[in-house]
A and B are shown apart, each in its own frame.
Chain A
């Protein structure tokens, strides 16, 4: 199905099932421990053994020798496969650096061997016996140092835009702001480590893995192994979180496949937790410079956003300036992004790539500018709203209700009670409120599905779409139930299997909208097949209550299916509505914090997000996506930072104790409001993405609340107490505070 005209009324609009707060259909499996993740596959016909990886101990250079004799002699060891054994491999399309193979070391903890043994304990012990000699080379690991040599990437990465004459307009502006901001390297830190079980049967390979994108993995695994893609069967029905860290083929799958070949046994490999942060990808750090010029009326006349990030040679920008092309009005404007070469592990997509770190900076700048103008920060944003792409005014937004989000949120949050910086106290707590806009583009990808109707009237959906916690199982079942006029108990959903039609997969907040649209398309085909079989005119057919009706004839679906059943298969493909109309999602984040006047400790007290993201397919799972993102943003604001050893070139705090994600005690009750809207330009579902929107802007809202509480402006994330304490009120005030508490 080609989606090239705005959606009109269709069966989804009934909203009998879609849009309803339906609990996850995989909830019982997950809460009872019965959902099986990649490392957990077991049956008597799968006599697997264990692989344990070895990682490079240097950041850059070559391996000159490897001695695996002790490892091979160790108890239980069945095989050792080294990067030298397999030699240089053709790299998968989606990876920047090699996952395995050859003597070149491109980053610390790059996989250089896998040791296969009868037990996990034996494999781990033997992995420690592999001896490696390196010829180390100098690398670049410090973004600030490498910034000067940063280059403009080619146009495919869209590094620059400019409209009008920014410099002149900025110079002429009555009020101006010029500031720099820094965001650190961040890690996905999903709870399930990357894991794969590989089993060869002759030339055929079966892999159970933890992947967001089945078809990308399958293609890249085929390339890396040098086998025919059709010979690989990949499955990933449950994924313990990804956040972008499982978008692209990872070393566990490659090592398991090579290990299994060498040992002639199925092999499973999980990346040890301390391995993950340097072996896999991360969100690259940024240094950003923002300049805003406005008239005294608060209208932005000039806006510029520049960003510098680093990556391996051949890598990509962290596109932190991209949202500034679309978010606010302003006639004269420019953005520029530059890429430095760094030899840290590969930088790549993490939840809301670009917008997440971009808004961490831009939305502090907006707060600072509002203060300079003497305006309320919400009013300042409203004044500068735009209903068209500000760089291409002939292109309207398909639907944009940022203003609605800001106003409703202000009302619900009690924004009018916000005081001037440093004014509100409760004992030793300085209390403040902050706001930030949320913005994330709505991406769509082609997505296929197959829908079977059987003689029991059960509809089974098959697509290689994944559910990484997003709720795909549930919203896909809702879509099929709505389209076929049946209850949720008559729908089965099978996901994450390369034997099924290729879907959008999970990423870039395109998954929910794209994959349900694919299921919609397949259901249209199935409806046509049912109508044709019954000789009904498909134009006036109604699917309702498990029956199909036309005029005064009505037949149970089970009967229509017949003994052999019926099948519908299709995929959704996208016309140019995304080109003629800018499709984006919007929101507003509100946060209240307390900052301890003595220690500078920041505690989040309240959080509210208001989201305008098209039709919400399931308010329960959508809300969970948003609160989860708000939680990730809290970590990003207050504690998350991969510490770079700029001498040795690696992330030092490479485990869950050193890399501090938010915990229970950090997160208060969270509120989410969805604007009641649809976007017919977006898809037949009239939905858009929401999973990444929830992260966009949260950290800045927290930063702005901390400023409002304490009067200390921090522009360098994370906002740890050492960055606040020098600016806090003097001791005399403090003793007052503590006296009043006593």
Chain B
């Protein structure tokens, strides 16, 4: 029986070809096979958000999806958003507002933050969205609701929301 499968996808714009154990999660493909360890493993079963990456523009918990399901997909990770000396605006805002402490949830928070603003702009409703017939506004309540799948035990939430609000404002 064949336990491995060849899969090709792009990560941060570069194409990657892997031959993976079918059980390998997208998270472990990134961390263990591609050594892109910026994406974190906090729980390995969808409870913490530390493993958040973008797949074809949508955020996913990469621990909850198998790598072999992503043939041809475009995957974006924290390493692709920016790098030291050349930060993405959201990364810079996190530094400015001290939106982290230990840093372990941080890549997930940042990927999620970027995606959340896109989701609101795309008018995708959330639990706290009031009127579904008008354009959803970027409010602190919307941000908090949509970010609630990203746990931060260091408790940087208040600062994270400040960072996201600032980026939303400067982009609007």
Chain A residues within 8 Å of B, Cβ to Cβ: 23-24, 26-37, 39-40, 42, 75, 119-122, 125, 188-193, 238-243, 270, 272-273, 468-471, 620-621, 623-625, 627-632, 655-657, 661-665, 667-670
Chain B interface residue count, CB cutoff 8 Å, equals 65
* One of A37, A42, A241 near B153 (C-beta < 8 A): A241
Is A241 in contact with B160, judged by CB distance below 8 angstroms? Answer: no
Q: Which of B41, B77, B78 has the most CB atoms of chain A within a 10 A radius of its CB?
A: B41
Is B42 in contact with A273, judged by CB distance below 8 angstroms? Answer: yes
What residues on B are CB-neighbors of A121 within 8 Å?
Answer: 21, 23-24, 28
Q: Which residue from chain B places its CB closest to the CB of A656 in the assembled complex?
A: B47
Q: Which residue from chain A places its CB closest to the CB of B150 in the assembled complex?
A: A664
Query: Is B16 in the interface zone, CB < 8 Å from A?
Result: no
* One of B38, B45, B48 near A32 (C-beta < 8 A): B38
* One of B83, B104, B144 near A34 (C-beta < 8 A): B83
Is B37 in contact with A40, judged by CB distance below 8 angstroms? Answer: yes
Is A624 in contact with B42, judged by CB distance below 8 angstroms? Answer: no
Task: Tell me the interface secondary structure of chain A in the complex.
Answer: loop
Is B101 in contact with A273, judged by CB distance below 8 angstroms? Answer: no
**Please, how many angstroms separate the alpha-carbon atoms of A664 and B31 in the complex?**
26
Is B87 in contact with A31, judged by CB distance below 8 angstroms? Answer: yes
Q: Which residue from chain B places its CB closest to the CB of A659 in the assembled complex?
A: B47
What residues on B are CB-neighbors of A23 within 8 Å?
Answer: 95-96, 98
The 7 closest A-B pairs by CB, nearest first: A33-B38, A631-B155, A240-B104, A469-B101, A469-B102, A30-B103, A628-B155
Q: A32-B38, A39-B37, A120-B28 are in contact. List 12 more A-B contacts (CB 8 A).
A: A31-B106, A34-B79, A34-B84, A119-B24, A190-B153, A191-B105, A192-B104, A240-B104, A631-B157, A663-B157, A667-B155, A669-B140
Near A by CB (< 8 A), chain B positions 112-165 give 140, 143-145, 147-162
Is A40 in contact with B154, judged by CB distance below 8 angstroms? Answer: no
Is A627 in contact with B156, judged by CB distance below 8 angstroms? Answer: yes
- In the assembled complex, 29 residue pairs joining A and B whose CB atoms fall closer than 8 Å, in A order, are A24-B95, A27-B100, A28-B87, A31-B94, A31-B106, A32-B83, A36-B37, A39-B37, A40-B31, A121-B21, A188-B153, A191-B102, A191-B154, A192-B42, A241-B101, A270-B41, A273-B45, A468-B102, A469-B154, A470-B101, A631-B152, A631-B157, A631-B158, A661-B153, A663-B148, A664-B148, A664-B150, A665-B145, A670-B158
Q: Which residue from chain B places its CB closest to the CB of A192 in the assembled complex?
A: B104
**Please, how many angstroms separate the alpha-carbon atoms of A662 and B143 in the complex?**
15
Q: Which of B40, B78, B98, B153 has the most CB atoms of chain A within a 10 A radius of its CB?
A: B153
Near A by CB (< 8 A), chain B positions 82-111 give 82-85, 87, 91-92, 94-96, 98, 100-107, 110
Is A32 in contact with B157, judged by CB distance below 8 angstroms? Answer: no
What residues on B are CB-neighbors of A240 within 8 Å?
Answer: 40, 102-105
CB A468 to nearest CB in B, in angstroms, measures 6
Q: Which of B42, B84, B105, B144 has the most CB atoms of chain A within a 10 A radius of its CB?
A: B42
**Please, how many angstroms separate the alpha-carbon atoms of A32 and B3 in the complex?**
34
**Please, how many angstroms separate the alpha-carbon atoms of A670 and B97 in the complex?**
13
**Please, how many angstroms separate the alpha-carbon atoms of A620 and B152 in the complex?**
18
What residues on B are CB-neighbors of A35 within 8 Å?
Answer: 103
**Please, how many angstroms separate the alpha-carbon atoms of A193 and B92 in the complex?**
27
What residues on B are CB-neighbors of A272 within 8 Å?
Answer: 44
Q: Which residue from chain B places its CB closest to the CB of A694 in the assembled complex?
A: B155
Query: Is B61 in the interface zone, CB < 8 Å from A?
Result: no
Q: Which residue from chain A places its CB closest to the CB of B77 in the assembled complex?
A: A33
CB B94 to nearest CB in A, in angstroms, measures 5
**Please, how many angstroms separate the alpha-carbon atoms of A29 and B77 in the complex?**
15
Query: Is B81 in the interface zone, CB < 8 Å from A?
Result: yes
CB B89 to nearest CB in A, in angstroms, measures 11
Chain B residues within 8 Å of A, Cβ to Cβ: 3, 21, 23-24, 28, 31-32, 35-45, 47-48, 50, 77-79, 81-85, 87, 91-92, 94-96, 98, 100-107, 110, 140, 143-145, 147-162
What residues on B are CB-neighbors of A468 within 8 Å?
Answer: 101-102
What residues on A are CB-neighbors of B78 within 8 Å?
Answer: 31-33
What residues on B are CB-neighbors of A242 within 8 Å?
Answer: 102
Known interface pairs A31-B95, A33-B39; A191-B21 also in contact (CB < 8 Å): no
**Please, how many angstroms separate the alpha-carbon atoms of A125 and B3 in the complex?**
13
Is A664 in contact with B95, judged by CB distance below 8 angstroms? Answer: no
What residues on B are CB-neighbors of A189 within 8 Å?
Answer: 153
What residues on B are CB-neighbors of A75 within 8 Å?
Answer: 3
Is A657 in contact with B47, judged by CB distance below 8 angstroms? Answer: yes
CB A184 to nearest CB in B, in angstroms, measures 17
Q: Which residue from chain B places its CB closest to the CB of A50 in the assembled complex?
A: B32
**Please, how many angstroms separate the alpha-carbon atoms of A33 and B12 in the complex?**
13
Known interface pairs A32-B82, A34-B83; A667-B158 also in contact (CB < 8 Å): yes
CB A642 to nearest CB in B, in angstroms, measures 15
CB A308 to nearest CB in B, in angstroms, measures 28
Q: Which residue from chain B places its CB closest to the CB of A660 in the assembled complex?
A: B151
Known interface pairs A28-B85, A31-B110, A656-B151; A624-B159 also in contact (CB < 8 Å): yes
Is B155 in contact with A629, judged by CB distance below 8 angstroms? Answer: yes
Is B43 in contact with A656, judged by CB distance below 8 angstroms? Answer: yes
Q: Which residue from chain B places its CB closest to the CB of A607 in the assembled complex?
A: B158
CB A279 to nearest CB in B, in angstroms, measures 15
Q: Which residue from chain A places its CB closest to the CB of B38 in the assembled complex?
A: A33
**Please, how many angstroms separate the alpha-carbon atoms of A34 and B81 in the complex?**
12
Is B43 in contact with A273, judged by CB distance below 8 angstroms? Answer: yes
Is A190 in contact with B102, judged by CB distance below 8 angstroms? Answer: yes
Is A656 in contact with B42, judged by CB distance below 8 angstroms? Answer: yes
CB B156 to nearest CB in A, in angstroms, measures 6
Is A30 in contact with B151, judged by CB distance below 8 angstroms? Answer: no
Is A627 in contact with B44, judged by CB distance below 8 angstroms? Answer: no
**Please, how many angstroms separate the alpha-carbon atoms of A621 and B162 in the complex?**
15
What residues on B are CB-neighbors of A32 within 8 Å?
Answer: 38, 78-79, 81-84, 87, 91
CB A129 to nearest CB in B, in angstroms, measures 15
What residues on B are CB-neighbors of A667 within 8 Å?
Answer: 144, 155, 157-158
What residues on B are CB-neighbors of A273 within 8 Å?
Answer: 42-45, 47-48
CB B80 to nearest CB in A, in angstroms, measures 9
CB B61 to nearest CB in A, in angstroms, measures 12
Is A623 in contact with B106, judged by CB distance below 8 angstroms? Answer: no
CB A450 to nearest CB in B, in angstroms, measures 25
What residues on B are CB-neighbors of A625 within 8 Å?
Answer: 101
Is A33 in contact with B37, judged by CB distance below 8 angstroms? Answer: yes
Is A37 in contact with B104, judged by CB distance below 8 angstroms? Answer: yes
Is B155 in contact with A29, judged by CB distance below 8 angstroms? Answer: no
**Please, how many angstroms separate the alpha-carbon atoms of A630 and B157 in the complex?**
11
Is B101 in contact with A628, judged by CB distance below 8 angstroms? Answer: yes
Is B106 in contact with A30, judged by CB distance below 8 angstroms? Answer: yes
What residues on A are CB-neighbors of B38 within 8 Å?
Answer: 32-34
